[in-house]
Structure 1
Amino acid sequence: MNIVIQDLELVNVTKRYGTTIAVNAVSHHFCPASYTCLLGPSGCGKSSTLRMIAGHETISDGSILLAHRDISHLPPAKRGTAMMFQNYALFPHLSVADNVAFSLKMKGVDAKDRRAKAAEMLELVDLTTLADRLPDQLSGGQQQRVALARALITRPQVLLLDEPLSALDPFLRVRMRTELRNLQKELGISFVHVTHGQDEALALADEIVVMNNAVIEQAGPARDVFNAPRTRFVAQFMGGHNVIALPQGHYAIRSDAVQVTAPDAGQFDAYVTAIEYQGTHVSVLSRIAGDQEVTALVPDASYFNAPHHPGDRIGLTWDAKNLHQLTA
């Protein structure tokens, strides 16, 4: 697919539903040819943002620019974007090939060209041998790839994905993450993917945009957002961090950077509140002064050489260079 890489930008985009503000003056420039995940809890505004980019929701204020062209008020088919929906929305009475070619039929493309372009897309997603099947004869993962092929046949500059993995079982979800990532790299276009799963975002994204209460709380490369959260919300929502109040302010520290020591041998005394075995690590949940909860991830071999139990008194310590000060 020969597609020109284009920039996508949101400029003070706002969405109101009556008196409720779902998206509040959001501005963001998406890196071209990148995989971006919009991440956040339910109701934070991420799906409304995606649907406004797609043209399935009107914007209340602001502008959406693609290739420096204002697409804010164009119909979905004229924007240069394509959207893959959470439930795939395949037509049950149409074959795989006809589902993929449907948008071209609506545009009046002749049958021969439609079939050729559908075959190209099915080869891209490795479904050539299933072209004549109906959707209910496919697995969940195969249905997802049909939906992908149908979105890509319009040759979009940006592909929008609304929680595309949520209907899959955990094993298939991990496999499809790899397929999506490889497909984005092969096509070289921008993917914008909405999810509420932190692991999914970290596995897929070049860039993560964390939304909360209708605004962007933090955006940046996936590793930076995880390792250097700016706010208490981002640190806690991304997971893997403790938020600790010290005299100088609030700090985040990764759970795997906290060491468990003998009582009185660490920087803090603590009491174990729970133990969770997680395979390669054991999660030791504890409580320190001020009723603050702290989690330490201990390698399983180290833990079982000197196990702890709820109620045990322990020490906690960490290297000060691993503390990351939060701004809010």
Structure 2
Amino acid sequence: MRTAHDLELAHLTKRYGTTVAVNDLNHVFAPGSYVCLLGPSGCGKSSTLRMIAGHESVSEGSILLSGRDISALPPAKRGTAMMFQNYALFPHLSVKDNVAFSLRMKGVDKAARHARAMEMLELVDMTHLAERLPAQLSGGQQQRVALARALISDPEVLLLDEPLSALDPFLRIRMRGELKRLQRELGITFIHVTHGQDEALALADEVVVMNNAVIEQAGPAREVFNAPRTEFVARFMGGHNVITLNGARHAIRQDEIRIGDSGLPATVQAIEYQGDRVAIASQTEAGEALIALMPEAAFFSNEISPGAQVRLTWEEGRLHRLQA
């Protein structure tokens, strides 16, 4: 296991002309954790990652790693490494030489850098393809090479910019497990940018939800999903309804809503079969859209059709009040 290093953003701001892409972020990433920066396109998550990496300048504030201000240092001097979305492998170099490239730039002799590259390739189960060119690899194999190349510099923090977006759904799920295994094995901090809620929930020790250049909520994945603070987080994380009751906005999980003999009157708008469950979209008399998730067997034992009048209910205490 590595020595723990914490990463802190202190009043971090990024401006592009008059546009504020990242606005006064203050956050400490726990040492040795898997963190997902999550949010819609344009929320500032990639700009934040690129500032940490040193690929974007800091407009205001600072980035501290183990208490050391790295804001003005070049990327190679920071103690961070970045794995790019498009992998950025050199097409004319073998897998082994791609992984060893940064050591070559540092003047490490050929035998030593190749030995280290093979250690990294073993970590990602790619030693058997060490002599191939990138064009001879699948997308998943290219990703493993890019990962090994980022890790060869022995970073304190690994930065991943939507690393799974180019993969097919089956491989994406498999690679999630690989990334989590590697992070635990290495004991270093991974900061992973994604716009996929399922990806963040599957991987993250901490989810940091960004919106409009600020952090809207940060915390353990389960806490952010089950106790969203704002309407934006409730809707963005998915799986929640947002409803006004007694003048206040509340969130309730879709799987907590039941269709019964009493409760809130609503009209069924649409039915969607989802395999193990059925989503019933309805509209209340106040015009609010609510979704109830029913187990597949329960729905088909008593089918409901669009246009049906139903009543929606839930257990007391399941409503979660949102911040204004």
Aligned to 1:321, the other structure's residue is in SS state: coil
Query: Partner residue of 1:182?
Result: 181
* 2: CA distance, partners of 1:154 / 1:177: 22
* 2: CA distance, partners of 1:324 / 1:31: 27
The answer to whether 1:243 aligns with 2:242 is: yes
Q: One-letter code of the match for 1:174?
A: I
1:260 CA displacement:
1.1
CA shift digits 1:223-261 (9 cap, x unpaired): 000000000000000000000001141000000000012
CA shift digits 1:85-110 (9 cap, x unpaired): 00000001100000000000011111
Query: Partner residue of 2:58?
Result: 59
Query: Partner residue of 2:318?
Result: 322
The 5 A counterparts of 1:40-189 are 40-189=39-188
1:323 CA displacement:
0.4
1:78 CA displacement:
0.2
The answer to whether 1:233 aligns with 2:232 is: yes
The answer to whether 1:274 aligns with 2:270 is: yes
* 2: CA distance, partners of 1:111 / 1:281: 57
CA shift digits 1:169-228 (9 cap, x unpaired): 111101101100111001000000000000000000000000000000000000000000
* 1: CA distance, partners of 2:91 / 2:137: 11
CA contact 1:3–1:155 (8 Å) conserved in 2 = no
* 1: CA distance, partners of 2:29 / 2:277: 36
* 2: CA distance, partners of 1:63 / 1:26: 10
Gaps of 5+ in 2: none
CA contact 1:34–1:207 (8 Å) conserved in 2 = yes
The answer to whether 1:30 aligns with 2:26 is: no
1:4 CA displacement:
2.1
Q: One-letter code of the match for 1:188?
A: G
Q: One-letter code of the match for 1:305?
A: S
CA shift digits 1:18-40 (9 cap, x unpaired): 00000000010001100000000
The answer to whether 1:204 aligns with 2:200 is: no
Aligned to 2:317, the other structure's residue is in SS state: helix
Percentage of pairs with the same residue: 69
* 2: CA distance, partners of 1:268 / 1:201: 33
Aligned to 1:320, the other structure's residue is in SS state: coil
Q: Which moved more, 1:235-244 or 1:246-255?
A: 246-255
* 2: CA distance, partners of 1:155 / 1:132: 23
Pairs aligned (count)? 324
Query: Partner residue of 1:286?
Result: 282
* 2: CA distance, partners of 1:74 / 1:158: 15
Gaps of 5+ in 1: none
1:309 CA displacement:
1.1
Q: One-letter code of the match for 2:272?
A: E
* 1: CA distance, partners of 2:197 / 2:81: 24
Q: One-letter code of the match for 2:280?
A: V
CA shift digits 1:106-137 (9 cap, x unpaired): 11111111011001000000001000000011
Q: One-letter code of the match for 1:325?
A: R
CA contact 1:198–1:239 (8 Å) conserved in 2 = yes
The answer to whether 1:299 aligns with 2:298 is: no
Aligned to 1:145, the other structure's residue is in SS state: helix
* 2: CA distance, partners of 1:189 / 1:122: 18
* Superposition RMSD in Å: 0.7
* 1: CA distance, partners of 2:278 / 2:269: 13
Q: One-letter code of the match for 1:111?
A: K
Query: Partner residue of 1:255?
Result: 254
